[in-house]
Amino acid sequence: MELIFSIFTDYITEIVIVMSLLNFILLLLFIISRIKISSITKKYDRLVQGSTTHSLESILFEHIEEIRSTKEEIAEIKKRCENLDDRLQFCLQRIGFIRYNAFNDMGSDLSFSVALLDDKLNGFIITSIYGRNESKTYAKPVVKGDSNYPLSVEEIQALDRAKKQIVS
């Protein structure tokens, strides 16, 4: 025991310096760990913010359930969009219109032809011929961009204008 006591007494200065350095290192490690714990605590508080429970497990289960329901809603919305896209193909999307003077002795362009087509170029052409005493209106079906009935020059122009329209 005296040997240990003599070693302590001979090297007391060195022992105090080493112990002081170890204390300083431990103090630095303590400060660093407190900073990291504070950062983790802030992140945890942000994570559980707005939740009724502070259990990470229950929060994760809540989020997983929300993701599942969101995926189901997205799938339903996709179905609706596909249904709407299918239905839109049959809506009038291309319109070609031309006004003209059917009779040379008339003063203005009161006659017209209008082509109304869907996305697949199906629809009809309506022609109205205006005269002094009467006005006549005709309709001719269009299938795949063509009609089985003979078309006048103006009806062909209206059909061409409708076909050239870009459908987005």
- pLDDT 10s digits, 83-123: 998 888 888 889 999 998 888 766 678 899 999 999 889 99
**End position of a domain, from candidates 39, 65, 88:** 88
* Domain assignment present for 7: no
Q: Domain check: are 135 and 159 in the same one?
A: yes
Q: Domain check: are 104 and 84 in the same one?
A: no
Mean predicted lDDT score pLDDT of the chain:
89
Q: Domain check: are 80 and 131 in the same one?
A: no
Q: Domain check: are 104 and 82 in the same one?
A: no
The pLDDT assigned to 168 comes to 59
**End position of a domain, from candidates 88, 113, 139:** 88
- The domain of 155 spans 94-164
The pLDDT assigned to 33 comes to 96
Q: Domain check: are 125 and 63 in the same one?
A: no
Percent of the chain whose predicted confidence (pLDDT) is above 90 = 55
pTM listed for this prediction: 0.56
Termini Cα distance of the chain: 97
Counted domains in the chain = 2
